[in-house]
Amino acid sequence: MQPEAVAGLEQEPREECGVFGVWAPGEDVAKLAYYGLYALQHRGQEAAGISVSDGSQVVVFKDLGLVSQVFDEQALSTLRGHIAVGHCRYSTTGSTTWENAQPTFHTTAAGTGLTLGHNGNLVNTAELLEQINSSGNRDLLGATNDSSLITGLIAQRAADLGIEQAALEVLPTLRGAFCLVFADENTLYAARDAHGVRPLVLGRLERGWVIASETAALDIVGASFVREVEPGELVAIDENGLRSAHFAAPQPKGCVFEYVYLARPDTSIAGRSVHATRVDIGRRLAEEYPAEADLVIPVPESGTPAAIGYAQASGIAYGSGLVKNSYVGRTFIQPSQTIRQLGIRLKLNPLRDVIRGKRLVVVDDSIVRGNTQRALVRMLREAGALEVHVRIASPPVRWPCFYGIDFASRAELVANGLDTEGVRRSIGADSLGYISLESLVAASDQPRSRLCAACFDGEYPIELPDAELIGKHLLEGLSAQSTVGEPETVPPTGYGAEDAVRRP
């Protein structure tokens, strides 16, 4: 059984994963990875895992669930070494199964263990699977996600070339968005696709190095920010220090939606504070779509900085009108019919004394299907709001993402079939305004040419394959048809003993 979004709630756009790597002799790297993943939990809540290398073997511990559910003191105490690779997952390729949890693991023909965590989404998975199939090696694909494909392809070539050189040959063949952290027994590696769609940063510890999806994860382990891993760069860290090589020419196209919703507000991307960007978005939104109102309230938490900016620029008072239950998300428990009818109240509940008799400006980060906003407007009116003016801190989402965000299909995107007035009528608001793409880009402090905004404008910077060769469950279908057969899931004894530490 797969976890489903709580019935009656719109599933928010989700990023695929958070990755974290540490090379630090003499440190408790498993605990550093644990806290690093804790800081990145917002990027993926389906599964979590940590692998540790001690110079002679690689051990992987992973399971479905939140970081705090998968790991405890006893589990972390078994992970001893000087290199760790951590991962928290939200799936955009492959189902939510233990086998698809990361880090992935493969053993090379030379006996070297290779473990890998991946954030992003490849668009040439069918082509890469054919490479695996043509090799005739059934052990190369240990799961049905693109991360296992990458691990298998590197492991296949590493027998003759070694991990580093094999990676330099495989990485240029990958198309799509990818930030990788991987390791063997002695070396930590990190790589970022040529477009740098997803963020990846390098930090320094007193006695080591850290790689993370966001700068907030560096902060939590006491690492100082050094720089971003550059688009098209492979970084290697071992006892000889840090070295770097480029496997592709940089063509920066960072995801603008990271600024809108995905990244933590206390993270910086390309030198720009995410919180400051969101506040600026709110200010620009107030200039583009003013409203006569008594109170500006956010849809917490992602709408809060933009609501603050809107209030500052408009002169309208800011207030908290909604209380969020932070523990509602994806769940195995199906709500009863009574609870289902309450819908959004599982997640948000109004402060009636604040809302009653007020004309409200409600600031949210985005509209996907429109279900959440429709229920929210109705709930606010029932709580006594005189008017509800909805303001959105991103342009209309009209196109799906194939680079690591799990949006709805294009047919399900409400802005794809309706103009702004149509969406306003659909959600029942008194007025509706989206920030323009031009203002969103200006708030990011990045040139338009360095940003991917495909979900807003349909301009995909990385060429996409035919529709039948892309999709979340593509590999499951192709693997079932392949001649490779069912892959082995238990690695050779002594390396990545996943089965030995798998939770019942």
Positions marked active-site: 17
Residue 452 is labelled as binding a ligand: yes
Continuous H helices in 315-471 = 337-342, 352-355, 371-382, 414-417, 420-427, 437-444, 454-457
Residue 455 is labelled as binding a ligand: yes
Contacts of 402 (CB under 8 A, 6+ apart): 121, 123, 176, 454, 460, 462, 464, 470
Contacts of 38 (CB under 8 A, 6+ apart): 67, 68, 220
CB 190 within 8 A of CB 180: yes
Residue 179 is labelled as binding a ligand: no
Angle formed by the axes of helices 125-135 and 474-481, to 10°? Answer: 30
Q: Report d(CA 480, CA 123) in Å as an integer.
A: 19
Residue 213 is labelled as binding a ligand: no
Query: Quick one: 182 exposed, middle or buried, by C-beta within 10 A (0-12, 13-18, 19+)?
Result: buried
Residue 353 is labelled as binding a ligand: no
Residue 88 is labelled as binding a ligand: no
Q: How many CB atoms neighbour CB 129 within 10 A? A: 23
Closest alpha carbon to 19 in 241, 224, 182: 182
Residue 366 is labelled as binding a ligand: no
Is the sign of the CA dihedral 196, 199, 203, 208 positive or negative?
Answer: negative
Closest alpha carbon to 242 in 206, 202, 212: 202
CB 457 within 8 A of CB 437: yes
In the block, tokens 């996907």 appear at 368
Q: Which helix (H) or strand (E) holds 204?
A: strand 201-205
Judged by DSSP in three states, 23 sits in: strand
Annotated binding site: 255, 302, 364-365, 401, 452, 455
Indicate the annotated binding residues for [4Fe-4S] cluster: 255, 401, 452, 455
